[in-house]
Amino acid sequence: MVRAKQNLAVWIVTAVVLAALDVWLLLWVPGEGSYKSPLAVPVITFFLLLMIFVVFSQLMNRKLLEEMQTPGPESTPAEAVANTVAGLPVPQLRVEVLTSEQLPAASPAAAELVARSGRIFQESVAIQRKLIWYLIGTNLVIALGLGLGWQLTSPLPIWFTLALIAAAIGRRPSQNSLSYLRWFLVHVLWLGLTLFVGGAYLVELAQAIRAHRLHLAAILPPLLVAAALLGYAWRLPRAVYRLRREVLSHPPLKLLFLWVFGSAERLNSLFLGLGAIWRCLGTAQLLEGGEMLGTGGDVFRYLRGRTQEIIARTPEHVAAKVSSFQQAPHRWMCMYATNMLLCGDQSWRYALDTFLKDTDLVLMDLSRFSRDNAGCTYEIGQLIDKIDNRRFLFLIDDTTDLDFLYVSLEAAWKAMAADSPNRQRDDGLIRLFRLGQEYVMKEGDRRASLEVVQKDAACVMRLLCEGATTCLGRGAVLGST
């Protein structure tokens, strides 16, 4: 309780200091006779808030690391799995390494599923682009008509309007999260610009009413902007409804993502490319760890002294958090969620068992995998015990200790549980996909290559869709017979 009050006090003091700084910037800087842009205050405040957020985020991460390693109540699964098919032989293990240049041909069902994810992503971006051009068109028509009829000037600088128009011109969007984010931000900017223009015209109308100089030139501009916004409000829900209907026309898929805790570089790249197109088909679920600790909302919980709500320490807490995961597509973006769970040392095995009981596919990133990663070795054993080998895929790269990985796979395969689904089949094939070198040196800087990220994402997507259509059935995945 004392810690919560201290954190609240820090937050209040920070807000007061920022408010005082804004007032000082607005009233006393610069001196008399100098021009001061009204954007100075929100811009400076934004960067200060961002800096403070980053500082508190780092403090929270350190605190979470300490609490995750704190011993807690025993949290192993309550019931052991029964050995119902003891006596079945273990099939011969085969390990196949695939690359982007050496992929098996996709089945028609898998190709159809991949095409569907790409079509949904392109349509989600197309909604943003169409509405952007609608707003551009209405703003230009209003500005042109008013300028010709009443010699009125736009309340916005011409360079700003031209810059936004230039940002709306581009080639066919790439299938990655940055592409979607770009069009979404341009959309938001044009909507904000239109609201700003309408507000400026309303101010002029109010001034004309107070001065008893009401005339058509003051009434028409806000009416035109209001008509444009009504048209926008009519178009947006209809477009979103059509896209959402397409997304919900097929059953969603659940993807469990496992990874080697540590640097989040590779993880960020995977979600930048694969995450953008996978979330058109279903949810992604993963355990947090390494450099990925806590989200934006967790920072505010930390500031309110509610750290205990961030970490799932017991089976009951794990079950409660998993049951609260968002499983439906977003109301407006129409994409499925990425659900993340942060566990302590005493609860992550139970969380893994919970995830494995309710997932369609598993993707495990073994970048930087070595003998030091005992947790990942345990996860490999659990996958072989509980998931059909056609439903999981391992990712490797130049940092993976392949010798130890082969030893781990062989050991887990020989020690396979008696009721493992992999005892039911004669094919003991495990596939490893080798990721490309995504970071390249360019002009002395180490930069991520979007081309490599997207190429890997397309290949991984094909393999995942192949596993989904093969194991779960065409009708279960594509909603057809």
Q: If you ran DSSP here, which 8-state letter would residue 393 be given?
A: E
Q: How confident is the model at residue 61 (pLDDT cuts 50, 70, 90)?
A: low
Average pLDDT over every residue of 72-82: 43
Higher-confidence residue: 411 or 449? Answer: 411
Q: What is the pLDDT of residues 256-298, one digit of tens each?
A: 999 998 777 777 788 888 989 999 999 999 988 766 665 555 5
Residue 5 confidence (pLDDT)? 47
Q: What is the pLDDT of residues 416-465, one digit of tens each?
A: 998 899 988 788 899 999 998 876 656 556 666 788 889 999 999 999 99
What is the C-alpha to C-alpha distance for residues 296 and 50, in angstroms, rounded to an integer?
11
C-alpha gyration radius of the chain: 27
Q: What is the pLDDT of residues 128-168, one digit of tens each?
A: 999 998 988 888 777 776 654 444 455 555 656 666 677 67
Mean pLDDT of the chain: 78
What is the C-alpha to C-alpha distance for residues 121 and 81, in angstroms, rounded to an integer?
40
Segments making up each domain of the chain, as ranges: 2-68, 93-99+252-478, 121-246
pTM of the model: 0.79
- How many Cβ atoms from other residues are within 10 Å of residue 82's Cβ? 9
Residue 313 confidence (pLDDT)? 81
Within a 13 Å sphere around the CA of 111, how many CA atoms are in the beta-carbon half? 5
Average pLDDT over every residue of 358-387: 94
Going by C-beta distance under 8 Å and a sequence separation of 6 or more, which residues neighbour residue 348?
287, 375
Residue 222 phi, psi dihedral angles, 5° rounding: -65, -30
Tell me how long the chain is: 481
Higher-confidence residue: 68 or 397? Answer: 397
- In this structure, which topology does domain 93-99+252-478 adopt according to CATH? Rossmann fold (3.40.50)
Higher-confidence residue: 400 or 19? Answer: 400
Q: Identify which of 68-72, 175-179, 214-218, 305-309 has the greatest average pLDDT.
A: 175-179
Residue 82 confidence (pLDDT)? 41
Higher-confidence residue: 321 or 21? Answer: 321
Among the ranges given (44-58, 427-441, 465-479), the one the predictor scored with the smallest mean pLDDT? 44-58
Residue 307 confidence (pLDDT)? 56
Asked if the model's pLDDT at residue 302 lies above 80, the reply is no
Higher-confidence residue: 6 or 337? Answer: 337
- Helix axis angle for 296-303 and 2-28, nearest 10°, is 110
What the block records as the tokens of 451 is 């081309």
Average pLDDT over every residue of 26-54: 59
Q: How confident is the model at residue 77 (pLDDT cuts 50, 70, 90)?
A: very low
Residue 336 confidence (pLDDT)? 94
Cβ pair 129, 161 in contact under 8 A: no
Going by C-beta distance under 8 Å and a sequence separation of 6 or more, which residues neighbour residue 29?
36
Distance separating the N- and C-terminal Cα atoms of the chain: 58
Average pLDDT over every residue of 91-119: 92
Q: Where are the beta strands (DSSP E) in 79-195?
A: 93-98
- Write the burial class of residue 433 (CB in 10 Å: 0-12 exposed, 13-18 middle, 19+ buried): buried
Residue 80 confidence (pLDDT)? 39
What is the C-alpha to C-alpha distance for residues 175 and 272, in angstroms, rounded to an integer?
9
What is the C-alpha to C-alpha distance for residues 216 and 177, in angstroms, rounded to an integer?
46
Q: What is the pLDDT of residues 176-231, one digit of tens each?
A: 888 898 889 889 888 888 888 888 788 778 888 888 777 777 788 888 889 999 99
Residue 352 confidence (pLDDT)? 94
Higher-confidence residue: 143 or 247? Answer: 247
Distance of CA 270 to the CA centre of its chain: 11
What is the C-alpha to C-alpha distance for residues 297 and 293, in angstroms, rounded to an integer?
12
Asked if the model's pLDDT at residue 83 lies above 50, the reply is no
Residue 401 confidence (pLDDT)? 95
Going by C-beta distance under 8 Å and a sequence separation of 6 or more, which residues neighbour residue 120?
243, 246, 247, 280, 281, 334
What is the C-alpha to C-alpha distance for residues 30 and 35, in angstroms, rounded to an integer?
7
